[in-house]
Amino acid sequence: MVALLALGKSLEERIIPFIGHDIVSCPTIMRLVSSNVSCRDIIITKASFADQKKITNALGSPRSIIAFYDEKETMIPPLSSSGYTVFLPYSFTEEQLRLAIKKADHMKSIFGTAEEKIIGSSLIMRKTRLLIEKAMKTNLPVHLVGETGTGKTLAAETIHRYSNPKREMIREECGQLTTSLTDSILFGHTKGAYSGAVEERKGLIALADKSTLFLDEIQDLSLEVQAKLLGVLETGTFRRLGSDKPMHSSFRLITAGCVPLKELVRTKRMRNDFFHRINYIEIRMPSLSEHMEDIPELISKCEMDNGYLSEPIVDYTPFMHEFSGNVRELYRDVKLYHEGIQTLADIRDY
């Protein structure tokens, strides 16, 4: 089923011939939430519709969205952190709409798999997705290893969202856990626990309860902090600064970095006992140079995510080279081209 949400009669009349008969028109948020629209159906709405986030929160599951926007708008607001959004301008062509519906229909059929976010049809990316999907179906610790820009954070979010679609993943850069406030950052503190503690604070451990704690750049985590985390991972209990009362937190741990865990142990940057506590599933995110055949597909995904469908890139040749920043750098160049800052010739000569 397709839900047409707050579009207006004229826009609905342009869209309906391309969708089919299984349509419900929902002009208000309560109409949609109280209807029998399946969580896996497509929602078609306006990018500027203020209640869109409320709808995705109320229905509580990832979904596929087609969002129309005014070309005069300089920015398109993000619509959903738990779905796949295809943006279309109000001046859409029939071909653009057909492509958007095809893509949205495909995406709604694969929610709950890594294919939803981890793009690439190459053999190495299919194998990587298979490992991610296996990790999604467990609650075991995961370590994601790879170069910058290979999608480690995206993979972590995908694994987290499968089991916790309504809860925020708590993320921290391990390089930030090197200050005198580390204990407060991790475990929180009571009011007056130390000079300057004017109010209570929840730490990362408490915030991650019944959710996921994502520690990025794990190679920067000191041995001292590893020892402190080890106790929490083993018992699930901790104490806030300034309190003797034990607290409990049950969370999934995902770590990421550019170094395999065994290498961190070998070079004595990771404690053996901490390693054995978190060394369950290690997934290597391939560099873009290992699957350059996926570049056209990645460019298409970037264009759809950012509303660049009016003049899509058709000549991929300038982009067919190695990127030191991997997919992140590729997406940057795609955006620079569509914003008129770079030409294809600039990218070719990069």
Dump pLDDT digits (tens) for 8-21.
Answer: 888 888 888 877 66
CA distance 269 to 272: 10
Which of 10-24, 114-128, 137-151, 317-331 is least confident?
Answer: 10-24
CA distance 205 to 249: 7
| Residue 284 near residue 259 (C-beta atoms within 8 A) | no
Q: Given this model, what pLDDT does residue 256 score? A: 97
User: Can you tell me which residue has the tokens 């209807």?
Assistant: 35
Based on the number of CB atoms within 10 Å of its own CB, is 329 exposed (0-12), middle (13-18) or buried (19 or more)?
middle
pLDDT at 83 over 60: no
Q: Give the model's confidence band at 7: pLDDT under 50 very low, under 70 low, under 90 confident, else very high.
A: confident
Q: Pick the residue with more confidence: 298 or 42? A: 298
Q: Distance from CA of residue 323 to its chain's centroid? A: 21
The three-class DSSP label of residue 124 is helix
| Residue 55 near residue 29 (C-beta atoms within 8 A) | yes
- What is the mean pLDDT of the segment spanning 58-74? 69
Containing H/E element for 84?
A: strand 83-89
Based on the number of CB atoms within 10 Å of its own CB, is 257 exposed (0-12), middle (13-18) or buried (19 or more)?
buried
Q: Given this model, what pLDDT does residue 193 score? A: 62
Identity of the highest mean pLDDT range in 99-108, 142-151, 159-168, 169-178:
142-151
Q: Output the six-digit token pair for 302.
A: 């970037």
- What is the mean pLDDT of the segment spanning 57-67? 68
Q: Output the six-digit token pair for 68.
A: 């129309």
The three-class DSSP label of residue 291 is coil
- What is the mean pLDDT of the segment spanning 164-185? 86
Q: Given this model, what pLDDT does residue 81 score? A: 44
Q: What does pLDDT average to over the chain?
A: 83
- What is the mean pLDDT of the segment spanning 326-339? 94
Which of 144-148, 302-306, 314-318, 340-344 is least confident?
Answer: 302-306
